[in-house]
Amino acid sequence: MPGWCRASLPRSMPRPHNEGMNRQLHLNLFIQSRGHHEASWRHPASSPLPLTDIEYYRDLAQRAEAGLFDSIFLADTLALMDTVAHAATNWLEPVTALAALAGSTRRIGLIATASTTYSEPFNLARQFGSLDHISGGRVGWNIVTSWLAAAARNYGGTGQVSHADRYARGEEFVQVVKALWDSWGDDAVLDDRASGQYARADRIRPINHAGAHYTVAGPLNMPRGPQGRPVFVQAGSSDTGRRFAARHAEAVFTAQMEKATAQEFYADLKRLVAAEGRAADQALILPGLSPVIAATEAEAKKIARDLNDLTDPEVGRKRLSGRFGGHDFSHLPLDRPLASEDFPDPGTVEAARSRTEVIVGLVRREKFTLRQLLAYLAGARGHYTTAGTPEQIADLIEDWFNDGAADGFNLMPPVLPSMLDVFVAEVIPLLQKRGLFRTAYEGSTLREHFGLARPAARL
Ligand SMILES: Cc1cc2nc3c(=O)[nH]c(=O)nc-3n(C[C@H](O)[C@H](O)[C@H](O)COP(=O)(O)O)c2cc1C
């Protein structure tokens, strides 16, 4: 199937000169269902544990920690997907799940998604502030505006909140939580039994925020966390999403289908970050990578084909419709080549705008039929998929890393835990030999793993 075979992998290419000798690759494990391939949940190599069992997530986090990953990541949506009859996903609310995982891991970073459209800044600042304390400074917040139309109906709305409104609200939300996390000085708590002084009241200040969407007096009712603030992660790639990331994000997840677009995204975002007066290396760019790995390329491609044979095109059709804000694709035949006119203009999409740009671009380039497009997206929903040997995957990672396409990767194993295990056992040692990846954890916080500065308290 096209999704797995088209990517041409660089073979024994010349090693590009690594400008910063100390520049290190960053790896995040994105945990989703029993793997990122849509059919992973029914594949014989995927975990037998129920997706409601914390042991499943604990086991994966510990495997990733043994592989020295920077972090793990749990995504979240705020409505039940209409594909539930034939598709599995994570069920545990991510903040709750991360609290459990914090207790069963020691070094790895823990990133959870939470929405700026459907939560309150004060609640979120307390939850992630608590997680930062509980985990000893290992937490990151994936800031999303929640594109799913069905989410609005679970929060008192009747329809989609527009793309522009979601980002406007998100902008103010982030300003408020930053102020809340900065409302305590690092030295506010004395906890002095002898003198009887617990805290210095002059090092704790209200924020008195009154804006278009939020009115929050503050201060936060909790001391500042080990990282000052949790690491800010962001994953929107539209024009508005990029500008938002440039102002706030310290790590950026992105879906890129090929190296050239990844390089364009990387250059553009680093330029925008610099234009905001921030150091370019304080915003890491981590494209998704979903590799099937086997001893030979032929074997890897066979595994990928077998996985694709387990997919249900109607699950893919519903998912496609969701990305385009509920657009009806039911009339499209599965086996006629698609044209961009079969899709709404991505600029008018109020849902997952940048992903719809990726999909329409792919249709233009590849002239896929709907069946081929759905098979391609079944791999990792529009992220980069490939199949090859450990050496080929390491070459690809090194090439993107050294050629201005990535600071690291958001690893999305097609099947869990088996394809994570192969990556840890076979690819990581190659990256270490090439001097690209750590051989031991040096820091103890997620900021330290990512090489990010700890923000100073604004008091
Ligand atoms: C790796 C990755 C993970 C994401 N996780 C979530 C998520 O958990 N919840 C969510 O609502 N959106 C998630 N998104 C979607 C983006 O946050 C964003 O909402 C979407 O791309 C639309 O924004 P845009 O139009 O600016 O691109 C994710 C995107 C990527 C690339």
Tens of pLDDT along 129-162? 999 999 999 999 999 999 888 999 999 988 889 9
- Report pLDDT for 3: 34
pLDDT over 60 at 8, yes or no? no
Residue 391 lies in a domain: yes
Residue 437 lies in a domain: yes
CA–CA gap between residue 34 and residue 56 (Å, rounded): 9
| Ligand 1 atom nearest to CA at 239 | 26
Residue 3 lies in a domain: no
Residue 367 lies in a domain: no
Distance 32 CA to ligand 1 centre (A): 14
Distance 241 CA to ligand 1 centre (A): 10
| High-pLDDT (> 90) share of the chain, % | 88
Alpha carbon distances (Å) from 320 to 112, 161, 240, 326, 328 = 24, 19, 22, 8, 9
Query: What residues does ligand 1 touch, defined as CB less than 6 Å away?
Result: 75-77, 113, 144-147, 235-238, 240-241, 253-255, 288, 352-355, 410
CA–CA gap between residue 337 and residue 363 (Å, rounded): 9
| Confidence label for 401 from pLDDT (cuts 50, 70 and 90) | very high
Q: Which of 141, 144, 286 to mutate to test the pocket of ligand 1 (most atoms within 8 A of CB)?
A: 144
Residue 54 lies in a domain: yes
Distance 236 CA to ligand 1 centre (A): 5
CA–CA gap between residue 382 and residue 360 (Å, rounded): 11
| Ligand 1 atom nearest to CA at 76 | 8
Q: What is the Cβ-side half-sphere exposure of residue 331, based on CA atoms within 13 angstroms? A: 4
- Report pLDDT for 22: 80
Tokens at residue 62, please? 């510990």
CA–CA gap between residue 451 and residue 282 (Å, rounded): 8
Residue 9 lies in a domain: no
| Ligand 1 atom nearest to CA at 113 | 8
Each residue of 64-96: b (16+ CB within 10 Å) or e?
A: bbebbbbbbbbbbbbbebebeeebbebebebbe
Instruction: Give the residue, by CA position, lying nearest to ligand 1 atom 10.
Output: 146
- Report pLDDT for 21: 55
Residue 175 lies in a domain: yes
Q: Which of 31, 33, 115, 147 to mutate to test the pocket of ligand 1 (most atoms within 8 A of CB)?
A: 147
The CATH number of residue 403's host domain is 3.20.20.30
Closest CA to 1 of 454, 385, 455, 350: 385
CA–CA gap between residue 217 and residue 210 (Å, rounded): 8
Report CA Rg, the chain.
22
Residue 113 lies in a domain: yes
User: Could you give the 3-state DSSP secondary structure of residue 141?
Assistant: strand
Distance 435 CA to ligand 1 centre (A): 32
Query: What is the extent of the structural domain holding 73?
Result: 18-182+224-293+383-450
What is the number of domains present in the chain? 1
pLDDT in tens, 303-314: 999 999 999 999
Instruction: Give the residue, by CA position, lying nearest to ligand 1 atom 6.
Output: 75
Q: State the first-to-last Cα distance of the chain, in angstroms, to the nearest integer.
A: 57
| Confidence label for 20 from pLDDT (cuts 50, 70 and 90) | very low
Distance 329 CA to ligand 1 centre (A): 22
Instruction: Give the residue, by CA position, lying nearest to ligand 1 atom 11.
Output: 146
CA–CA gap between residue 233 and residue 242 (Å, rounded): 12
Distance 162 CA to ligand 1 centre (A): 15
Q: Which residues contact 157 (CB under 8 A, 6 or more apart)?
A: none
Distance 358 CA to ligand 1 centre (A): 13
Q: Which of 95, 113, 319 to mutate to test the pocket of ligand 1 (most atoms within 8 A of CB)?
A: 113
Instruction: Give the residue, by CA position, lying nearest to ligand 1 atom 28.
Output: 235
- Report pLDDT for 5: 33
pTM, two decimals, is 0.93
Instruction: Give the residue, by CA position, lying nearest to ligand 1 atom 23.
Output: 236
CA–CA gap between residue 112 and residue 423 (Å, rounded): 23
CA–CA gap between residue 430 and residue 391 (Å, rounded): 7
